[in-house]
Amino acid sequence: MTKATKRAALACAVAAALGLALYFNGSTAADEVADNQVTAAATLAADPAAVARGAYVSIQGDCAACHTVPGGRAFAGGYGLQTPFGVIYSTNITPDIKTGIGNWTERDFFRAVRHGRHKNGQLLYPAMPYNAYVKISDADMHDLWAYMRTLQPVEQSPSHNTLGFPYNIRHALWGWNLLFFDNAPFVTQPAQSAAWNRGRYLVDGPGHCAACHTPKNFLGGDTGRYLQGAELLGSYAPEITADPYRGLGSWSREQLQTYLRTGANHQAIASGAMGEAIEFSTQHLNDQDLAAIAEYLKSVPGSNSIKPQAMATTEPVMRRGAQVYEQNCMACHNVAGEGIAGMVTGFADNPGIRTPSGSNLVAAILKGSKAVTTSGNVTGAGMPSFDWKLGDADIAAVLTYVRNSWGNAASQITPEQVATARRTLDAKPQMLRHF
C-alpha cells in the first residue's frame, strides 16, 4: 500500500468516525416513545395524577425560574440569560398556539427538552440545559408533558437574542454538540444505594447542577472538573463536592439538606443565582429527594485542594483589614466571624469564603446582598452596599482579612480586582469625605 493510499484510507476512516459521531449525537430516536399526534393545545384531558407528578418534575428542573420574567406571567418566557457570549432570552412554553408550544406534540417537546431541537428543526442553544435534561427518564418526561398541557396559554413573543458573530450561527451548534453533548440516558449504578442513584439522577439530570458548578472552557462546554466550582460572569458558583476545604466536606448531610430546604444553615445564607434555585426549586423538594442529593454530593470526589498557609496577622493588609472589619462588619458577622445561624453568613471555617477568586465577596460588599426568603426561613435578611463608603483598598483589605482568619486561608484580594469589579458591576464610587 502506497503512502497516498494509506493517507486516503486514514482520511476515510476519520470521516466515517466523524460521521458516526455526528449521527449519534444528532439522533433523537429515544424520543420516539412520545406521542406525535396530540398537541399541547388539544382539549383531551390529562391524567390528574400525571399532572401532579409533572408539576414536581418541573420543580426539579427549575423550569419556572428561567421561563418566567420576574413579575411576569408564568412560563411565558422572555427572561434574559446572561452568558459570556451575549444575552439569550427564554422562550414561551405555555400552550399558546401563536407564540408558545400550543401546536407542539409530546414528541416535539421531548426532542426540545432532551436533545435541544426545536419543532422546526432548529438547534437550541445549550443555555437550555438539554445536555443535562437528556438524563430525564421517559416516565418523568411523560408526566412533565401532561403538566405543561395544563398551563394557562399566554400570548407573548420572546425578545431577540443579542449574541454576536459567530455565536449567532446556530449551525455551529452541530460542532458544539459533537464536542460536549453526551447523548446518553441516565444509567443506575447497581453497586450504589437507591438513594445515591436518585441523588445522582436529580443532580445530573433535572437539577442540572453542573450548568453552574462545573468549570467551562472557552466554548462554554464542561471541563473534566466535575462540580468543582466555576466563575460565572463576575460571580462564583462554589465547589459542591466532598472536598473538605473548598467543597461540602465539612457540612453534614443534615446541614446540606437544611440549606437546600430553607436557603440557610449554620454557616451559609443563599442569595443571587443559588437563592433563585432554592426559591423556585429545592425548597419544594420532598425530604427523601433532599436526602438523596446530600448523599450523592457528599460522595463526589473533589479537587483535593490543599489548605494554604494563612497570611500572618502582622501583615499590614491584615492589620488594616481587621480595622475595617471592626468598624463595618463586626456588628452583624460577630467578633470571631460567627455570623448568626439562619440569618447572617458565618465566616469562620467557611468553604464559601475560600473560593479561588473571592468574586462573590467583592460583589456582596460593593452591591449588597439579599438573602432568599423561603417558607422554612422567612427572615430573608439583607446586607447593605458599601460601594459608596469603602474604597477599593479597604474592601480588598477586609476581604483578605476575612479569607485568612478564623480557620480560613486563601489568596489575597487586590485593590485592582475590586476596581475592576466596581466598573463591571456599575457600582458607585466611594463618597469623598470633607472635614
- Give a yes or no: residue 1 inside a domain: no
Q: How far apart are CA 357 and CA 354, in angstroms?
A: 8
Q: How far apart are CA 277 and CA 59, in angstroms?
A: 10
Least confident span in 244-253, 303-312, 329-338, 355-364: 303-312
Say whether pLDDT at 63 is over 50. Answer: yes
- What pLDDT, on a 0 to 100 scale, did the predictor assign at position 20? 45
Residues comprising the chain, all counted: 435
Q: What is the DSSP letter of 213?
A: H
Mean pLDDT over 263-290 rounds to: 94
Amino acid at 311: M
For residue 291, give the nearest of 377, 194, 187, 378 by alpha carbon. Answer: 194
344: three-class secondary structure by DSSP: strand
Known binding positions:
63, 66-67, 209, 212-213, 329, 332-333
Rounding to the nearest 10 degrees, give the CA dihedral for residues 318, 322, 323, 324.
Answer: 100
Q: What is the DSSP letter of 348?
A: T
- What pLDDT, on a 0 to 100 scale, did the predictor assign at position 396? 97
73-131 per-position pLDDT tens digit: 999 999 988 888 889 999 999 999 999 999 999 999 999 999 999 999 999 999 999 99
What residue numbers bound the domain in which 387 lies?
316-424
Q: How far apart are CA 9 and CA 264, in angstroms?
A: 61
Same domain membership, residue 267 and residue 211: yes
Say whether pLDDT at 191 is over 90. Answer: yes
Same domain membership, residue 323 and residue 209: no
11-35 per-position pLDDT tens digit: 454 444 445 445 556 799 999 999 9
194: three-class secondary structure by DSSP: helix
In the chain, the percentage of residues whose pLDDT exceeds 90 is 74
Same domain membership, residue 77 and residue 214: no
- What pLDDT, on a 0 to 100 scale, did the predictor assign at position 14? 43
* CATH label of the domain that carries residue 408: 1.10.760.10
- Give a yes or no: residue 308 inside a domain: no
- Give a yes or no: residue 187 inside a domain: no
- Give a yes or no: residue 189 inside a domain: no
Global model pTM greater than 0.85: yes
Same domain membership, residue 231 and residue 277: yes
Same domain membership, residue 174 and residue 32: yes
Same domain membership, residue 258 and residue 332: no
Known binding positions for heme c:
63, 66-67, 209, 212-213, 329, 332-333
Same domain membership, residue 58 and residue 174: yes
Same domain membership, residue 166 and residue 35: yes
CA angle in degrees (0–180, nearest 5) for 11-17-23: 135
129-157 per-position pLDDT tens digit: 999 999 999 999 999 999 999 999 999 99
Residue at a domain's end among 254, 269, 297: 297
Same domain membership, residue 293 and residue 364: no
- Give a yes or no: residue 21 inside a domain: no
Mark out the alpha helices in 171-302 (DSSP H runs).
173-180, 194-204, 210-213, 253-262, 272-280, 287-297
The total domain count for the chain is 3
The answer to whether the Cα torsion of 179, 183, 188, 190 is positive or negative is: negative
Query: What's the gap between Cα 396 and its chain centre?
Result: 27
Same domain membership, residue 156 and residue 216: no
